[in-house]
Amino acid sequence: MEKMHVKMNVNGKEVDLLTEPRTLLIHALREELGITGPHVGCSSSHCGACTVDMNGMSVKSCTVFAAQANGAEITTIEGLGSPDALHVLQEMFKEHHGLQCGYCTPGMITRAYRLLQENPNPTEEEVRFGIAGNLCRCTGYQNIVKAILEAAAKMNEIKESA
Amino acid sequence: MNEATPPKEERTAALSGLGTSRKRVEDARFTQGKGNYVDDLKMPGMLFGDFVRSPYAHARVKSIDTEKAMALPGVHAVLTAADLEPLGLHWMPTLAGDKQMVLADGKVLFQAQEVAFVVADDRYAAADGVAAVKVEYEELPVLVDPFKAESDGAPVLREDIADQTEGAHGPRRHPNHIFTWESGDREATEAVLAEADVVAEEMIYYHRTHPCPLEPCGCVASMDKVNGKLTVWGTFQAPHAVRTVASLISGIAEHNIRIISPDIGGGFGNKVGVYPGYVCSIVASIVTGVPVKWIEDRSDNLMATAFARDYWMKGRISATKDGKITGLHCHTTADHGAFDACADPTKFPAGFMNICTGSYDIPTAYLAVDGIYTNKAPGGVAYRCSFRVTEAAYFIERMIEILAIKLGMDAAELRVKNFIKKDQFPYQSALGWEYDSGDYHTGWDKALKAVGYEDLRKEQAARVEAFKRGETRMLLGIGLSHFTEIVGAGPVKNCDILGLGMFDSCEIRIHPTGSAIARLGTISQGQGHATTFAQILASEIGLPAEDITLEEGDTDTAPYGLGTYGSRSTPVAGAATAMAGRKIRAKAQMIAAYLLEVHDNDLEWDVDRFVVKGSPERFKTMKEIAFASYNQAIPGVEPGLEAVSYYDPPNMTYPFGSYICVMEINVDTGTTEIRQVYALDDCGTRINPMIIEGQVHGGLTEALAIAMGQEIAYDEQGNVTTGTLMDFFVPTAVETPNYQTDYTVTPSPHHPIGAKGVGESPNVGGVPAFSNAVHDAFRAFGLTQSNMPHDHWRIWKTAQSLGLHD
């Protein structure tokens, strides 16, 4: 199959991929760019393990063609924080035991990141609705919700003190 | 020196040992996208394998044409049963003493069965190849109803064993019959039932469902022909058992096989078994000489890998007029699908279903289980429960409710009247188990008080009156559940899988500077072993948990163990960890005695050091002893500080708990709203309360899913009608309530630290709590039994059948 160029900005870096038109964004990220944080859980947009941020929106990268991301800005879990400077959400997920097997976690945190950009002061109900596209089989969500609410509070504190 | 010694409490706290809500060491990599799951593996030259699967539930395979597929760019090989047959690998043994087709051998027996394996450059080319393989089928009559399996004219499914009247578990009375397994005294039970004041009888169906871990199953097989070594990375809950099985069926010597379980994205029992994908990847790697990856997709996972439950449990329970239970009879029809691939200890083809007398002192009982073949996927794994324990708990907790209706008694009162009493432990059950410890009344009272049980019953009664007056369309259900689990398989004397005794192991090496590595025969799939096992060890050997690395899952480095499932890690490997720690401490005591120039017996252990009795200023810390073990020539003591323990548990452990769910039900829409879920667990000694709570939240959510909507359903042609996450219910954060957790502590008397295991309790106790809430809401209107899952449609139908829409 004839390949095509796809240019994206992924986690702040410009990349130029030569890939098949049918390549899904999740596979371009995982297999061609070695960004293995986002995972594949269902291949059908239900589970959200593959969630990445694309042009300021959460997308399920298992049902987006890489070609559709041409020119896009992509942020994955790898772009949210670094070992020396974790994102508040990453800290709060650990603090409140918001993960167990870790498979949903990159997608869940990436989704929570966008949710808090859109709504910095969510209620518990809004958090639950806002992450309803991301399934977790281990935690029962209670501690995930707690972690996101705490992260929102901390992010607002940081904003206020700045 | 004495002045410098911090107080005991401070030194204990510094260890982050038993009882500490230590934050998880695993989380750093998982929160930063640096987990290492099998699909993250990428190796030079690696190929990708994918299956051609059967669209039919029962059909003859007339021909398989691979020519077009082989002609496609990027396709390297297409394996069929004919290619595997010369290697003797077209069938493989199951964990239950049966055998299973690796690739369709002449016929297919369930929808999505593996027919051919296409090996290609990548997953896209493999998908092209799968689409190009042409298979000609001849459809055969389909058997989906286990009760029709032995009727006249029923199709014979397993032609390979149709003539065998003896199976792995005794006589077979029909080609579609697998085994009959009995427990207890049949005649005595019949006699008790015949003479009883009251007998309640009901068929309790626990529907077919699926563990559905978020990460599907998969592997990478790499045959290194130069060195003759086979390495397989995969989603294995029991890596050592996989190594032994791989050696036995492939003929490759066991020391030349290395099985590695990397990070596993949830298992819940689904990743215990051996699947055709593993076998085909290994063969494909041998054939092509390069690594071969196989990763199933979600529909493959739901339709072809191990299901759970599917037990039809016909129960009879008898009691005196005032509610003292006298006998229990259960006959179970177990739908095993096309191959008997249950993951149960060999001597227990129906798992520990004979824990079905539950938390009650039932003097006489009998259980029989008939295993049946149908045109459905194989499996029968313990989905977040010890072997068939959730089926047993659901059965008895429903039977208790039904008996309460028959007696006109409150269901909580009936339980209290029949609980095994604290002073009866260790308790011998009528079906042969010895319950190690328990205190059911204390937890139950606490639970009833916590939810305000009496007030709830008053509210419910008022609601029923209001409903009858036409003032509301909402009913209130109070779901009670008291479960007793049997976990921690198990004693080698009666527990093995494929002849491998179900002990487990821990090996510890203390480094010169006083840090350590411990390796176990288990494997975490999210349970946080690296965090909690280090805590057990910290308390045993007095080194901080943060200075102890824990490693699992690599058969070249870890000691032999039977893996993680059935809540066995803490009861078995956790015990091995404590015992290995005690061996370290025993040697450390000799070293300390030498260094302090006293007799061994003159020393006592004090948190993190050995102290000379009566001279607290004279001591050696474990850290000092560790260094000494590497640089002192001590007469009669070998250098180094290492230990290994293989722990064969003397008994199972019996965690228990009291769960209550309060549920609002809309009679007109069948929708439900969960108002309160209270879960009190007694898992013995608590290692990490934070992790216990997390396990309970997760297990309750899986229980909620199973009770309220999750199922693997088949139509009459054997088509799976719930093969995607569109149809297979997995709760989101919106449907999932907040949970209220609580606990009591009744240590196990035979476990070195008194721990019992907790991961599966919330599923075992949760399913009856949710289901009983639904039933309880309709009790006043005459409902005794309805089948799970209680989705909106089924609840609406229940309301309809009770005339509540009239």
Check residue B3 and give its pLDDT: 55
Q: Which of A46, A131, A139 sits opposite B694 (nearest CB)?
A: A139
Residues B434 and B383 in one domain: yes
Nearest-10 Cα torsion for B46, A32, A136, B111:
-50
Residues B417 and B472 in one domain: yes
Q: Mean pLDDT for chain B?
A: 97
Q: Are B397 and B408 in contact (CB under 8 A)?
A: no
Spell out the domains of chain A, with CATH numbers in brackets. Answer: 4-79 (3.10.20.30), 88-161 (1.10.150.120)
Q: Which of residues 482-521 of B touch A (CB under 8 A)?
A: none
Residues B367 and B392 in one domain: yes
Q: Write b or e for each residue in B251-279: b if 16 or more Cβ atoms lie within 10 A of its Cβ, otherwise e.
A: ebeeeebbbbbbbbbbbbbbbbbbbbbbb
Half-sphere exposure of A5 (CA within 13 A, CB side): 5
Averaged pLDDT for residues B371-392: 95
Give, for B250, the enclosing helix (H) or strand (E).
helix B239-250
Q: Is residue B775 part of a domain?
A: yes
Whole-number Å distance between alpha carbons of A12 and A29 = 14
A63 touches chain B (CB under 8 A): no
Q: Which of B53, B535, B760, B779 is catalytic?
A: B760
* B272: pLDDT strictly greater than 70: yes
Residue A29 to residues A17, A40, A78, B40, B104, Cα–Cα distance (Å): 10, 11, 11, 11, 35
Residues B247 and B320 in one domain: no
Chain A residues closer than 8 Å to B27 by CB: 93-94, 99, 102
Q: Is residue B163 part of a domain?
A: no
Output the domain CATH number for residue B509.
3.30.365.10
Provide the 8-state DSSP code for A95. Answer: H
Q: Between chain A and chain B, how many beta carbons pairs sit less than 8 Å apart?
A: 178
Residues B335 and B463 in one domain: yes
List, in order, residues 6 or more apart from B532 with CB less than 8 Å away. Answer: B22, B570, B574, B687, B688, B691
Active site residue B330: no
Q: Are B390 and B567 in contact (CB under 8 A)?
A: no
B121 touches chain A (CB under 8 A): no
A143 touches chain B (CB under 8 A): yes
Whole-number Å distance between alpha carbons of B754 and B228 = 45
pLDDT, tens only, B610-637: 999 999 999 999 999 999 999 999 999 9
Q: Which of B647, B671, B693 is the last residue of a domain?
A: B647
Q: Which of B385, B495, B506, B661 is catalytic?
A: B385
Q: Which of B26, B212, B694 sits opposite A137 (nearest CB)?
A: B212
* B151: pLDDT strictly greater than 50: yes
Q: Which of residues 555-614 of B touch A (CB under 8 A)?
A: none
Give, for B699, the enclosing helix (H) or strand (E).
helix B689-708
Q: For an interface test with B, give the residue of A11, A137, A145, A148 to mutate (most B CBs within 10 A).
A: A137
Residues B399 and B427 in one domain: yes
Reported as a pLDDT band with limits 50, 70 and 90, residue B249 is confident
Whether B726 sits inside 8 A of A86 (CB atoms) is no
A44 touches chain B (CB under 8 A): yes
Q: ipTM for the complex? A: 0.98
Reported as a pLDDT band with limits 50, 70 and 90, residue B567 is confident
Q: Are A100 and B698 in contact (CB under 8 A)?
A: yes
Chain B residues closer than 8 Å to A135 by CB: 214, 725, 730, 732
Q: Are B22 and B531 in contact (CB under 8 A)?
A: yes
Whether B694 sits inside 8 A of A97 (CB atoms) is yes
> Using CB atoms within 10 A of its CB, is residue B120 exposed (0-12), middle (13-18) or buried (19+)?
buried
Q: Which of B704, B772, B654, B795 is nearest to B403 (CA)?
A: B772
pLDDT, tens only, B633-689: 999 999 999 999 999 999 999 999 999 999 999 999 999 999 999 999 999 999 999
Q: Is residue B18 part of a domain?
A: yes
Q: Is residue B546 part of a domain?
A: yes
Whether A137 sits inside 8 A of B702 (CB atoms) is yes
Q: Which of A36, A46, A104 sits opposite B40 (nearest CB)?
A: A36
Radius of gyration over every alpha carbon of chain A, rounded to an integer in angstroms: 16
Residues B251 and B115 in one domain: yes
Q: Is residue B480 part of a domain?
A: yes
Whole-number Å distance between alpha carbons of B188 and B772 = 30
Structural domain span for residue B285: 38-141+216-264+271-304
Q: Is residue B184 part of a domain?
A: no
* B90: pLDDT strictly greater than 80: yes
Averaged pLDDT for residues B498-513: 94
Question: In chain A, which residue's Cα lies nearest the Cα of B33?
Answer: A37
Q: Are A116 and A71 in contact (CB under 8 A)?
A: no
In sign, the C-alpha dihedral spanning B283, B284, B289, B291 is negative
List, in order, residues 6 or more apart from B300 with CB less than 8 Å away. Answer: B51, B53, B112, B216
Q: Which of B628, B647, B666 is the last residue of a domain?
A: B647
Residues B300 and B311 in one domain: no
Classify residue B314 as left (phi > 0), alpha (psi -120 to 50) or beta.
Answer: beta
B702 touches chain A (CB under 8 A): yes
Q: Which of B631, B647, B663 is the last residue of a domain?
A: B647
Active site residue B800: no
Active site residue B173: no
Q: Which of B384, B388, B609, B686 is catalytic?
A: B384
Check residue B182 and give its pLDDT: 98
Q: Which of B237, B525, B589, B710 is catalytic?
A: B237
pLDDT, tens only, B165-204: 999 999 999 999 999 999 999 999 999 999 999 999 999 9
pLDDT, tens only, A61-112: 999 999 999 999 999 999 999 999 999 999 999 999 999 999 999 999 999 9
Q: Write b or e for each residue in B649-685: b if 16 or more Cβ atoms lie within 10 A of its Cβ, otherwise e.
A: bebbbbbbbbbbbbbbbbbeebebebbbbbbbbbbbb
Cα of B27 to nearest chain A Cα, Å: 6
Whole-number Å distance between alpha carbons of B466 and B381 = 45
Q: Which of A27, A104, A128 sits opposite B734 (nearest CB)?
A: A128
A43 touches chain B (CB under 8 A): yes
Radius of gyration over every alpha carbon of chain B, rounded to an integer in angstroms: 28
Reported as a pLDDT band with limits 50, 70 and 90, residue A7 is very high
Q: At what angle do helices A105-118 and A88-95 cross, to 10 degrees?
A: 120
* B2: pLDDT strictly greater than 70: no
Calculate what percentage of chain B has a pLDDT beyond 90. 96
pLDDT, tens only, B217-232: 999 999 999 999 999 9
Provide the CA A22 distance to its chain's centre, in angstroms.
22
Q: Is residue B160 part of a domain?
A: no
Number of domains in chain B: 3
Question: In chain A, which residue's Cα lies nearest the Cα of B739?
Answer: A142
Provide the CA B630 distance to its chain's centre, in angstroms.
42
Residues B610 and B661 in one domain: no
Q: Is residue B202 part of a domain?
A: no
Question: In chain B, which residue's Cα lies nearest the Cα of A143?
Answer: B694
Q: For an interface test with B, give the residue of A27, A134, A142 to mutate (most B CBs within 10 A).
A: A142
* B1: pLDDT strictly greater than 50: no
What tokens were used for B123? 């997953």
Q: Are B479 and B220 in contact (CB under 8 A)?
A: no
A105 touches chain B (CB under 8 A): yes
Q: Write b or e for each residue in B343-361: b if 16 or more Cβ atoms lie within 10 A of its Cβ, otherwise e.
A: bbbbebbbbbbbbbbbbbb
Reported as a pLDDT band with limits 50, 70 and 90, residue B566 is confident
Residues B607 and B666 in one domain: no
Residues B563 and B598 in one domain: yes
Check residue A162 and give its pLDDT: 81
Q: Which of B196, B162, B205, B388 is nearest to B312 (CA)?
A: B205
> What's phi and psi for B117, nearest 5 deg?
-120, 115
Q: Which of B24, B32, B736 sits opposite A97 (nearest CB)?
A: B24
Residues B394 and B517 in one domain: no
Between B662 and B569, residue with greater pLDDT: B662
